Amino acid sequence: MFLPLNPRHLAWFRLGFLGLSVVAWRSSGRVFDPNAAGILAPWLESFYPDLFLTPMYLGAALVVLAAACMGVASRCLGLVSVALLLPLAFLDEGVQSRQVLLTVLVCLSLLPGVPVWRVFRHPISGVVEQPGPPQWPLLLIRWQLSLVYLANAVAKAANPEYMGGDVLQGLAESHPDFHLHVEAGLAHFLFLVVPAWLAAALPVVFEAAIGLGVWARRPGWKLAVWLGTVAFHLVLMGVRTIFMLNIVCVVLMALVFLWGEPVRAGFRRGSRGM
C-alpha cells in the first residue's frame, strides 16, 4: 500500500486522466436533473442557467483541472476542480460516468504534485532516482473500478427476474434504445439468437471477471483483462448507449494497468532527482 510510485508514471497517469476528463465533461448533458442532485437540488437549481451551464464556467473548471493534472499545486487545485465540476455531475446525461471521474479526481488530489516539465526533463532510466509518493491513492482508484464491476455482477446475480431474462424483456419493450430483442424466451442481437437466461448471465460472468481482473499483475493477464473489458463494452454499446461510462471504464482500466503500479525495485539516492 505504501510502496512508492514512479513519478514519471504518475505524470502519465494524470495526463491520460486529463484527456479523458476533457472529453467526458465537454460531452455533458445540458439539463439539470433534480433527482441526481438529491437534497442539494433546491439550492443549486437557480444557478444552472446563468452560471453552471455557461461555456465560461466549464472552461474555467477545465483550466483548473489541467493545472492540477500537470502537477501545479495538485492537491489544492485538484480539490478546487472537484468543487467546480461537482454541479456538472447533476445533469441529465452521464451521471454515473462523471461520478466515477470525480472519485478518481479526489484520489489523485491526495497525491503531491511535481510539475510535468520537471518530471520529463530527466532522462528515462530503469531505476527511479528518488522515491515518488505512496501508491495508496491509486489503489483506491483500482478498488473503485473493481467495485463498479463486482457490485453490478452481484446485483444482477441476486435478482431472479434478471437472471431469468424477464428484466431484459421488460427493457426491450419499454426502451426504444435497447437493441436486444427478447421474445419467447430467446434473445436476438444482430445475427445471434441465444436463450434469454444466457443473455442475462453472460454480463454477470464478464463483470465478475473484470472486477477481479483489475488486480492482475502479470502483463499477459493485464492485456487479457483489458481486451476483455474492451470487448464487453463494445457489445454493451451495441445493446444500449450509456453515455460516456463505457469509454471512461475502458480508459481508466488502461491507465491503471499502464501507470498505476508501484516501484518494486530499489532507488538510487544522492543524485539529481525530483
Any bridge partners for residue 195, and if so which?
Answer: 186
Rounded to an integer, what distance in angstroms lies between the CA atom of residue 36 and that of residue 173?
25
pLDDT, position 148: 92
Please give the distance of CA 113 from its chain centroid, rounded to a whole number: 21
Residue type, 2: F
| CB atoms closer than 10 angstroms to residue 96 | 16
pLDDT, position 109: 92
pLDDT, position 126: 43
User: Does 273 have pLDDT greater than 70?
Assistant: no
- Name the packing angle between helices 196-213 and 136-157 (round to 10°): 160
14: confidence class by pLDDT, cuts 50, 70, 90:
very high
Alpha-carbon torsion (36, 38, 40, 45), positive or negative = positive
pLDDT, position 120: 79
User: Does 258 have pLDDT greater than 70?
Assistant: yes
Contact 168, 158 (CB under 8 A): no
What are 174-223's pLDDT values in tens digits? 777 777 877 777 887 778 888 888 888 999 999 999 999 999 989 999 99
Query: Mean pLDDT, to the nearest integer, of 228-245?
Result: 84
> How open is the CA angle 205-261-135, to the nearest 5 degrees?
110
The residue ranges of every structural domain in the chain are 1-125, 135-263
What are 118-137's pLDDT values in tens digits? 887 765 544 445 567 778 89
Quote the mean pLDDT of the chain. 83
Burial 11-47 (b: 16+ CB within 10 A, else e): bbbbbbbbebbeebbeebbeebeeebbeeeeeebeee
Rounded to an integer, what distance in angstroms lies between the CA atom of residue 158 and that of residue 238?
25
Q: Comparing 46 with 142, which gets the higher pLDDT?
A: 142
Greatest extent of the chain over all pairs of C-alpha atoms, in Å:
72
What are 84-115's pLDDT values in tens digits? 999 888 887 777 888 899 999 999 999 888 88
Range with lowest mean pLDDT among 154-168, 200-214, 251-265: 251-265
Residue type, 274: M
